[in-house]
């Protein structure tokens, strides 16, 4: 007997039949003798529909009222799912975020969980009830309803799993696990049985879009065993945990593509101390997140610095740089959003320089030009032209996971 937290996303509860399906998964888990706590998202397009309703009335509503509005979506989900489980003859209770004791800060629309007082959940579990909790939401110190922002429901699930010391936190979604690359786009993409938190973090930030980083970060911090699996297939998914079996062997977990990236290049910088500090503190002040930074080794007095930002931040980054051209001291600025970042992720990669080499070789064989390179402990990223992105992913994936691959 174990305590299992299950989370189902919006597509998993989109209509009556899917709610019934989810109720069956939940009651099957309960029947096996487990304590079950379930976190649900809003049904299908509910959240988008509510946002549209709001924008019709006020294009710029306060975040506080927006949270008041949107949190109804999850409340509808838990109530309906509880009714489905009641209909199957199992004891069940639904709870809102505040009833479940999820306390957050007051950053409406993007609140952080501060603590979870899980007394109520424990009491209901003691009564042998299946407990359904609204994802994505909590309560701040003013007794106002907040939402957790993107990836919020995953985060709710991991937070509850952490506080309740759950044996497993299952994230049910519409894909059946984490793949070596996007299975809709890359031939031969394989499902992984296991992956470490760090690898998952890199993959998520690279656009794998299976789990949100926030939830994985929290799972890593509190050592919550996660599993990503499909609510439709009934097959085992991908386990996400601190240490995986295959860890001692160098391996590549996956190939990811991120097209939401823009490059800013400052050309002809005078090389003097504090130059980089100046540039990046100006960007930080404007809340522009910088990803890859590359500084060229200049031949004479002048240097170039290139960095990448998300496409949403490109205009702002350019503006800040131009406004401070004299202060920073550069000749010209070039920006481009016609690029993509392709990355391979794998634990233990740092100890095996051959991995990066294989990646570059695959790109060379496919005739794809590399624009920038960045490496970390468990990741190698390259920037390529946007139009080369898909070919690049396939070529790299073939090299590592294809019939003659070596991962």
* Interface residues toward a second copy, by CB under 8 A: 16, 19-20, 50, 53-54, 56-62, 64-66, 68-69, 71-72, 75-76, 78-80, 82-84, 86-87, 93-94, 96, 99, 120, 143-145
Residue placing its CB nearer to a second copy in the complex, 78 or 189 = 78
Residue placing its CB nearer to a second copy in the complex, 60 or 274 = 60
Least distance (Å) from a second copy to the CB of residue 237?
A: 26
Least distance (Å) from a second copy to the CB of residue 101?
A: 10
Residue placing its CB nearer to a second copy in the complex, 144 or 386 = 144
Least distance (Å) from a second copy to the CB of residue 164?
A: 19
Residues 327, 279: Cα–Cα separation, whole Å: 9
Least distance (Å) from a second copy to the CB of residue 79?
A: 4
112-150 in b/e burial notation, b at 16+ Cβ within 10 A?
A: ebeebebebbbebbeeebbbbbbbbbbbbeeebbbbbbe
Judging by DSSP bridges, how do beta strands 339-345 and 379-385 pair with one another?
antiparallel
Residue placing its CB nearer to a second copy in the complex, 139 or 158 = 139
Residues 172, 169: Cα–Cα separation, whole Å: 10
DSSP state string for 327-385: HHT-SEEEEE--EEEEEEE-TTGGG-THHHHHHHHHHHHTT----EEEEETTEEEEEEE
DSSP structure class, residue 288: P
Least distance (Å) from a second copy to the CB of residue 96?
A: 8
Which is it for the CA torsion 292, 239, 244, 357, positive or negative? negative
Q: How many residues does the chain have?
A: 407
Residue placing its CB nearer to a second copy in the complex, 64 or 122 = 64
Residue placing its CB nearer to a second copy in the complex, 84 or 226 = 84
Least distance (Å) from a second copy to the CB of residue 16?
A: 5
Q: Are 225 and 167 in contact, with CB atoms under 8 Å apart?
A: yes
Residues 346, 335: Cα–Cα separation, whole Å: 31
Least distance (Å) from a second copy to the CB of residue 59?
A: 8
Q: Match 């690279």 to its residue by tokens.
A: 206
Residue placing its CB nearer to a second copy in the complex, 6 or 137 = 137
DSSP structure class, residue 115: E
Let me know the angle formed at the C-alpha of 62 by 59 and 64, rounded to the nearest 5 degrees: 140
Residue placing its CB nearer to a second copy in the complex, 70 or 320 = 70
Least distance (Å) from a second copy to the CB of residue 162?
A: 23
Give the phi and the psi of residue 204 in degrees, each rounded to 5: -65, -45
């Amino acid at each position: 007997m174990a305590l299992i937290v299950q989370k189902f996303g919006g597509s998993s509860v989109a209509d009556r039949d899917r709610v019934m399906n989810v109720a069956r998964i939940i009651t099957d888990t309960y029947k096996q003798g487990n304590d079950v706590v379930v976190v649900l998202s809003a049904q299908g397009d509910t959240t988008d529909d509510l946002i549209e309703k709001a924008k019709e009335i006020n294009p710029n509503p306060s975040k506080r009222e927006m949270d008041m509005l949107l949190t109804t979506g999850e409340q509808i989900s838990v109530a309906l799912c509880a009714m489905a489980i009641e209909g199957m003859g199992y004891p069940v209770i639904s709870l809102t975020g505040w009833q479940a004791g999820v306390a957050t800060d007051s950053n409406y629309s993007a609140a952080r969980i501060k603590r979870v007082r899980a007394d109520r959940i424990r009491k209901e579990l003691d009564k042998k009830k299946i407990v359904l909790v609204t994802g994505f939401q909590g309560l701040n110190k003013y007794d106002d309803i907040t939402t957790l922002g993107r990836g919020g429901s995953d985060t709710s699930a991991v937070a509850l799993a952490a506080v309740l010391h759950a044996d497993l936190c299952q994230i049910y979604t519409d894909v059946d696990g984490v793949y070596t690359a996007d299975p809709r786009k890359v031939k031969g993409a394989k499902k992984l049985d296991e992956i470490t938190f760090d690898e998952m973090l890199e993959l998520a930030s690279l656009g794998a879009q299976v789990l949100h980083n926030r939830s994985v970060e929290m799972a890593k911090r509190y050592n919550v065993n996660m599993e990503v699996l499909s609510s439709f297939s009934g097959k085992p998914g991908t386990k996400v945990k601190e240490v995986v079996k295959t860890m001692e062997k160098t391996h590549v977990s996956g190939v990811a593509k991120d097209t939401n990236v823009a490059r800013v290049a400052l050309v002809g910088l005078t090389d003097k101390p504090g130059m980089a500090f100046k540039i990046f503190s100006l960007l930080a002040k404007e809340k522009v997140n910088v990803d890859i930074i590359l500084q060229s080794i200049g031949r004479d007095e002048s240097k170039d610095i290139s960095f990448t930002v998300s496409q949403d931040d490109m205009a702002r980054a350019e503006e800040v740089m131009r406004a401070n051209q004299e202060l920073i001291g550069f000749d010209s600025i070039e920006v481009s959003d016609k690029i993509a970042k392709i990355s391979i992720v794998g634990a233990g990669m740092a100890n095996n320089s051959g991995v990066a080499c294989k990646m570059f070789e695959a790109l060379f064989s496919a005739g794809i030009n590399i624009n920038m390179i960045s490496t970390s402990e468990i990741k190698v990223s390259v920037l390529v032209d946007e139009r080369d992105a898909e070919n690049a992913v396939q070529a790299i994936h073939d090299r590592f996971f294809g019939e003659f691959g070596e991962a």
